[in-house]
A = this chain, B = another copy of it.
Amino acid sequence: MPNAPQTDEGWYVLHDFRSIDWDAWRDAPERERQLAVDEGVTYLEDHEAVADADEGASAVFSVLGHKADLLVVHFRPTLDALSTAERRFEQTALAAVTEQPTSYVSVTEVSGYVSDDWFEGNKDDIDTGLRRYIEGKLKPDIPDDEYVSFYPMSKRRGEQDNWYDLSFEERAELMSGHGEVGKEYAGKIKQVIASSVGFDDHEWGVTLFSDDPAHIKDIVYEMRFDEASSRYGEFGDFYVGRRFPPSDLGAYLDG
């Protein structure tokens, strides 16, 4: 049996997608609309300030197209905190004009493909740069005012191309080549990789941030030619949007 890579986990993640019920929004009296905006802004600001937990991060994004209108991303130290955040939203007047068409549950992860040192040595001896790099992956910041792309993915278990049949060394080499493409986009793209094995329908959730949506297209397209993706990647639905400050919620809803 091929070896699974070692992994360390950081924050749990909920991608909570919401659709505006525009009929309800249009029909609501001004007072209800204002309440929806007020409670929505308070909810989002409290969660961005992580008022509900010791640490974590949250952000709200607009989403294009029919699949959703809003994406609220929560990073928290426990699944329980995510469950609370999801249910608290339902207690707001904003929830009355939204539905939850989809969502994704995962946990940030670093693996032995990324760094042998992290797993093999004494973690106190680890180089500061590497430590910060790893901690940035386990407890990521969410950049302001940037475009976002989210998609779930799995590794193929085809009858010929079967990722889980490859040796650790083969997989590590493929992941390393994959990482090389990522490095070309340093400064242009920030990515968060989180495992959903045992939690949700694909194996990972990928969240990309950039100040230019064309960079998002370019990195995903270029990586598609990389063997780790071309032969072994299987992708779910893609969502694209842009972060906005909670205080802009009213303007967003007013078109």
Q: Contact between B220 and A90 (Cβ–Cβ < 8 Å)?
A: no
- Taking the closest CB of chain B, its distance from the CB of A252, in whole angstroms, is 7
A237 touches B201 (CB 8 A): yes
Question: A195: nearest residue on chain B (CB-CB)?
Answer: B217
The 7 closest A-B pairs by CB, nearest first: A164-B230, A198-B220, A65-B103, A159-B160, A22-B90, A66-B103, A87-B255
| Residue A141 CB within 8 A of the other chain | no
In the complex, which residues 37-95 of chain A have their Cβ closer than 8 Å to any Cβ of chain B? Answer: 62, 64-67, 79-80, 82-84, 86-88, 90-91, 95
Q: Which residue of B lies closest to A171 (CB)?
A: B225
A240 touching B199 in the complex, CB below 8 Å, given contacts A107-B213, A217-B9, A230-B164: yes
Neighbouring B residues of A66 by C-beta, 8 Å: 17, 100-103
**A223-249 residues at the B interface, CB under 8 angstroms:** 224-227, 229-231, 233, 237-238, 240-242
Copies in the complex: 5
Given A157-B230, A238-B198, also A255-B217 (CB < 8 A): no
Assuming A20-B90, A213-B79, is B225 touching A3 (CB within 8 A)?
A: yes
Listed residue (A20, A90, A96) with the most chain B CB atoms within 10 angstroms of its CB:
A90
Residues of B within 8 A of A115 (CB): none
Report the bound CA distance from A19 to B114 in whole Å: 39
CB of A118 closer than 8 Å to a CB of B: no
Residues of B with C-beta under 8 A to A133: none
Q: How near does chain B come to A39, taking the closest CB pair, in angstroms? A: 11
Q: How far is the CB of A181 from chain B (nearest CB, A)?
A: 8
9 more A-B residue pairs beyond the given contacts A107-B213, A199-B216, with a C-beta to C-beta distance below 8 A: A26-B91, A91-B254, A157-B230, A162-B231, A165-B231, A195-B217, A196-B238, A198-B216, A198-B219
